[in-house]
Amino acid sequence: MSEAGLLIAAVTIFAYALIARRLSDWILTAPMVFLGLGWGMTEAGLFHVEGAEKALHLLAEATLVIVLFSDAAAVDLVALRKRFVWPERMLLIGLPATMALGTLAGWILLPGWPIWEVALLAAILAPTDAALGQAVVTNPAVPDRVRRALTVESGLNDGLALPAVLFFGCIAVGGVHDNIQSSWLIFAAEQIGLAALSGAAVGWLGGLAMRAASNLRLSTEAFEGVGVLALAGLSYLASTGLGGNGFLAAFVGGLAFGAVMKGRCKFVFEFMETEGQILVLATFLLIGAALLPEAAARIESVAILLILISLFAVRPAAIWLSLWRTDAAPLTKGFLGWFGPRGLATVLFALLVVGQLDALKHGDEILTISAIAVALSAVLHGVSAAPGARWYGGKIEISE
């Protein structure tokens, strides 16, 4: 990036920070701003695409590790099992249903694709990101239970979707059509199994050590936050050193760490609300600069149709199915189904599989569709978040 580009990026971040509260009630969200800024800077020649792509890969990996670990650590699994029926069903029923329905839609619209690559794309498009609909999860007009369901779901579904992404990716490159090579299945099992074991061990032991240090007053909250970053990186590195997937290990490590700390993870929330936001915004900027210009030039109409079906039909239908026979009102089911924006996880998973699985026949198309899906979702969900939250809050209050 040129000095002029750095100056523009810094000024934009500062200006957005000054009016962030006012913009949260409007239709302009931070992901929209920084995706558009990155794209515009590339078109203006202020970003060199090759350099942006290298920076994106490095920043994306670091951001994904931290987001997976911190989101998982922030979830109270005991409370989720006992009290949070909606997010539990959205994760255990809705997420697999989203992948299944997405695979069906892709199988119909992409007839030339191998079925496992279609399933891989569906898994990549399944995770949601509450950051793209921040005005919903922070709006007091929306009932607490609904906001909590969306927050918990988006915090966990990226980590839960990752094994499916790895599994379908390995099978997709492991053979031609139905001729699956067992070596790739073994590789997938190693990636997932070793990641789970190493991540759980690092997170559990790290949590015990941090809890003991806190009880003995040996540390401070500031350095506990630094310790969490180091623990997330340790989860990743320990798994990759053993032959497992580092990203999945970071997620499992966060779950184990959060279970040990038992709600004493205030510093995790504080980090993601401050320093973590810088990483997220920088990643959106680089996605706009490195991926969107080329993706917009290459995207085909059938791919756009698939993305729109994923946003408007697949996710809402899956969430409606998952909440069947619960106390969720029809209006609430529809609201939860719509506000499942695609965000960082979708692009980062696409970068992960395309970078590691060279044998994918449609790797470039998967990355293109993922980038455009995030851009369209940022606009559609960003524009509808604030007015949609106000409308839903008023309607549900009247009906109650």
Q: What is the pLDDT of residue 200?
A: 94
Nearest-angstrom CA–CA distance, 216 and 210: 10
Nearest-angstrom CA–CA distance, 282 and 63: 10
Three-state DSSP string of the chain: CCHHHHHHHHHHHHHHHHCHHHHCCCCCCHHHHHHHHHHHHHHCCCCCHHHHHHHHHHHHHHHHHHHHHHHHHCCCHHHHHHCCHHHHHHHHHHHHHHHHHHHHHHHHHCCCCCHHHHHHHHHHCCCCCHHHHHHHHCCCCCCHHHHHHHHHHHHHHHHHHHHHHHHHHHHHHCEECCEECHHHHHHHHHHHHHHHHHHHHHHHHHHHHHHHHHHCCCCCHHHHHHHHHHHHHHHHHHHHHHCCCHHHHHHHHHHHHHHHHCCCCHHHHHHHHCHHHHHHHHHHHHHHHHCHHHHHHHCCHHHHHHHHHHHHHHHHHHHHHHCCCCCCCHHHHHHHHHCCCCCHHHHHHHHHHHHHCCCCCCHHHHHHHHHHHHHHHHHHHHHHHHHHHHHHHHHHHHHC
Q: What percentage of the chain carries pLDDT values higher than 70? A: 86
Q: What is the pLDDT of residue 175?
A: 46
Nearest-angstrom CA–CA distance, 115 and 310: 17
Average pLDDT over residues 215-221: 79
Nearest-angstrom CA–CA distance, 284 and 247: 19
Nearest-angstrom CA–CA distance, 392 and 385: 10
Average pLDDT over residues 182-200: 77
Enumerate the domain spans of the chain: 37-125+141-399
Nearest-angstrom CA–CA distance, 375 and 311: 12
What's the pLDDT tens digit per position in 244-270? 888 889 999 998 998 888 766 666 666
Class of domain 37-125+141-399: mainly alpha
With a cut of 90, say whether residue 122 has pLDDT above it.
Answer: yes
Residues in CB range of 12: below 8 A, 6 or more apart: 33, 34, 37
Q: What is the pTM of this model?
A: 0.86
Q: Which amino acid is at 116?
A: W
Instruction: Indicate the average pLDDT of the chain.
Output: 84
Q: Which amino acid is at 228?
A: V
Please give the structure tokens belonging to residue 347.
Answer: 């692009």
What's the pLDDT tens digit per position in 135-166? 787 788 888 889 888 888 888 888 889 889 98
Rg of the chain on CA atoms, in Å: 20
- Comparing 286 with 396, the larger pLDDT belongs to 286
Nearest-angstrom CA–CA distance, 294 and 5: 19
Q: What is the pLDDT of residue 263?
A: 64
Average pLDDT over residues 119-145: 86
Average pLDDT over residues 332-349: 91
Degrees, nearest 5: CA angle 260-261-264: 165
Confidence of residue 182 (pLDDT cuts 50, 70, 90): very low
Which stretch of 41-45, 61-65, 133-137, 203-207 has the lowest confidence by average pLDDT?
A: 133-137
With a cut of 70, say whether residue 55 has pLDDT above it.
Answer: yes
Nearest-angstrom CA–CA distance, 75 and 252: 12
With a cut of 70, say whether residue 283 has pLDDT above it.
Answer: yes
With a cut of 80, say whether residue 83 has pLDDT above it.
Answer: no
Q: What percentage of the chain carries pLDDT values higher than 90? A: 34
